[in-house]
Amino acid sequence: MKKTSYTKASLIRELAASAEITQKKARFILDELTRIAYREAADGGFTVPGICRLDVVLRKPRRMKNPQTGETILIGEHRTLRARIVKAARNAVTPPPEDLVTVLPDEGPTQAELEDFSNAISFCCKKCGQEIEAPRAAIGIEAHCPACGASIIVPAESEAGTLHGPALPTPTVPPAAPTTAAPETPPASPDATSASPFTSPATPESSSTTSEPSPAATFAEQKARGGQTIRIDLAALGFAPEEHASPRTLSAKRMLSFFCKNCRQEIEAPADMAGTSSECPACGVSFEVPFFSDPGTLHGSDLDDREPGDPEVRDARARTIRIEVPDDF
């Protein structure tokens, strides 16, 4: 059974019975309260005790777009009345549940980030010395060495001498000690005189030069060591899914459609605006964007499942005005 709506006449009867006055006096008091609220709200704000706060705010200019014609419209700067429910009234009418707010755990790296090795980290296992490669999204995560199974923590920077790390510094050769006396030169043997004229004798300087690898060659060798690097298994990090889902295309932005409570203009808004205050582009009355579409509107019926060229869909879009998130939101 549908409950009868509570009208102004019902309010006057209840006030008169509670205050033990006539209904005429109760009506007069209610009318005076309305007149005072209108006057004070325009002059700096008025609070209806225990119910709401009325004040005038200045709305900035906002741009909107008509979805049917594509024309951009501008709602100019204007003053409008704002009503804010006081906390006592909100808690009395809709008491907040105990489990209203739930603290969610921090989200770990996404699967795409864990599979991105374009800017990876390379390091060596402290136990067996195996070179390991891991994605940058795994920094600070504890895993296991794929070679020996020892516990490792992915560092923030690549180690020197590894695949993605800087080149190792070139070792310095200590200077040779000075000799006090030159050794006696042995007599030349026939074999020495028969040596090839194209062969030059080795000197200490040339031998030391050939034994020291150049930094460029060392760096190239380190990069060539990629074949010795083991890429860490993402399953060891505990983030890889059991089975890879097939790629899916992103769905279009969800839209809401509803009627203006004042002029009954059908309005369309993105779901991101649900719960926010806006204004009707037709009459300018302030309203709150609902969380669900009203029945009988563009997105509150089965029109979303029909083809865009359907006559009913075209008629619904023609009578619907879209609002967007304002620039100053």
pLDDT at 243: 47
Written as one letter, the residue type at 153 is I
Distances (CA, A) of 303 to 266, 295, 309: 15, 11, 11
What whole-number distance in Å separates Cα of residue 159 and Cα of residue 121? 8
Q: Tell me, what's the pLDDT at 72?
A: 86
Residue 198 is predicted with a pLDDT of: 43
pTM metric for this prediction: 0.35
The answer on pLDDT for 225 being more than 70 is no
Task: Give percent of the chain above pLDDT 70.
Answer: 64
* Beta strand spans in the chain (E): 46-48, 52-59, 62-65, 72-75, 78-85, 121-124, 131-134, 142-144, 151-153, 230-231, 255-259, 266-270, 277-279, 286-288, 320-322
Q: Note the pLDDT of residue 14.
A: 94
Binned at pLDDT 50, 70 and 90, residue 240 comes out as: low
Give residues with Cβ within 8 angstroms of 61, minimum separation 6: 74, 75, 76, 77
Ramachandran angles phi, psi of 65, nearest 5°? -130, 135
CATH 4.10.520 fits 44-95+252-322, yes or no: yes
Residues of the chain with CATH 4.10.520: 44-95+252-322
| Residue range 106-133, pLDDT digits in tens | 766 666 665 667 778 889 998 888 888 8
Residue with tokens 């609070």: 47
Instruction: Give tens-digit pLDDT for 312-323.
Output: 777 776 767 776
pLDDT digits (tens, 9 = 90+) for 130-174: 888 888 878 888 888 878 888 888 898 888 888 888 887 776 666
Q: What percent of the chain has pLDDT over 90?
A: 18
The C-alpha atoms of residue 170 and residue 216 are separated, in whole angstroms, by 10
Tell me which of 247 and 286 has the higher pLDDT: 286
